[in-house]
Amino acid sequence: MIDWSTKKVIILDRDGVINHDSDAYIKSADEWVPIAGSLSAIATLNQKFKVAIATNQSGIGRGFYDETVLSNMHHKMAQLLQEQGGHIDHIEFCPHHPDDGCDCRKPKPTMLERIAEIFNATPDQVVFIGDSKSDYDCAQNFGCDFVLVLTGKGLKTLDKLAGKDITIEKSLAKLTEGINHGLL
């Protein structure tokens, strides 16, 4: 059970947690579509925590889109979040192809380490929310709590993590309902 009262920073995976994911990659701002309730959930999280994103964006390394397009996606997300009274405090992304051998691609903990450093947080003050095994492994490698959401790849990941002691939520919106009821 996560003790939310000790947390300072919530780190979110992007695709499959905040927005709908695609096996063909999200390649434009038009393709970036939020999951129902995710943006208002972030606004709720903003009331108690710093909120950051750690996302692998290998579509850049694969040549499907460039950093300008990624920036446009994040600008759209920021505008839609603002309409909900929310914001993202920081975004870390890995632009590399999985075969590049970089130091930042999840499940390596580099992006989480950078975010924690920015907000002067220790791993025990961080929760990482994701939908994939690499998200879970990244949280394990960093030493922070992890929440698996069943949106995106979450249902498939649930099978891969069978037997692990993890917190599971239907969606980011369902997770934040607990904040509204004083449970977090």
- Give binding residues for Zn(2+) as ranges: 94, 96, 102, 104
Active site residues: 13, 15
> Distance between the two ends of the chain, CA-based, in angstroms?
11
Please tell me the distance from the alpha carbon of residue 69 to that of residue 54, in angstroms, as a whole number: 17
Asked whether the beta carbons of 123 and 116 are under 8 A apart, the reply is yes
Asked whether the beta carbons of 54 and 92 are under 8 A apart, the reply is yes
Please tell me the distance from the alpha carbon of residue 79 to that of residue 64, in angstroms, as a whole number: 24
The two structure tokens encoding residue 169: 């939520």
Query: Could you give the C-alpha distances from 1 to 12, 102, 160, in angstroms and in order?
Result: 19, 33, 20
Binding-site sequence positions for Mg(2+): 13, 15, 131
Query: Could you give the C-alpha distances from 109 to 34, 92, 120, 142, 151, in angstroms and in order?
Result: 25, 11, 16, 5, 22
